[in-house]
Amino acid sequence: NGKLSIGVDSNQNYIQPGSVLTSMLKRVDVAAYEVFKTGHDGSWKPGFKILGLAEDGVGWALDEHNAKLVTSAMKSKVEQVREGILSGKIKVHDYMSDNKCPVQ
């Protein structure tokens, strides 16, 4: 029907192959590994740790279920935006700071 969705939190591309453009990933595997690693080496400290793009704590899913939907131009743009965020050229607003989602 031409409508696409985007999964959230985990890879949901397999649920409706060809209908899920991608899934935005919260990399809980990376977070769990970091906790175990710091526990093992004795450097663990209680509190909050934010794992963002630079720490591979978030990402997007590209696999056999959505590969035909994502063009080379889309992949290039995603990489361009990723690099912009990592370099600081693109600022990502923290919604939790003021409960606003400004469009710029």
Does residue 103 lie within any of the structural domains?
no
Q: Would you call 55 helix, strand, or coil by DSSP?
A: coil
How far apart (Å, rounded) are the C-alpha atoms in residues 26 and 17?
20
> At 91, which CATH number?
3.40.50.2300
Does residue 104 lie within any of the structural domains?
no
Does residue 17 lie within any of the structural domains?
yes
Q: Are 95 and 101 in contact (CB under 8 A)?
A: yes
Enclosing domain of residue 21: 5-98
Flag whether pLDDT at 28 surpasses 70: yes
Does residue 54 lie within any of the structural domains?
yes
Q: How many domains does the chain have?
A: 1
Does residue 20 lie within any of the structural domains?
yes
Any residues with CB less than 8 A from the CB of 94 and at least 6 apart, and which? none
Q: Are 16 and 48 in contact (CB under 8 A)?
A: no
User: What distance lies between CA 23 and its chain's CA centroid?
Assistant: 8
For residue range 29-83, list pLDDT tens digits in order.
Answer: 999 999 999 999 999 999 999 999 999 999 999 999 999 999 999 999 999 999 9
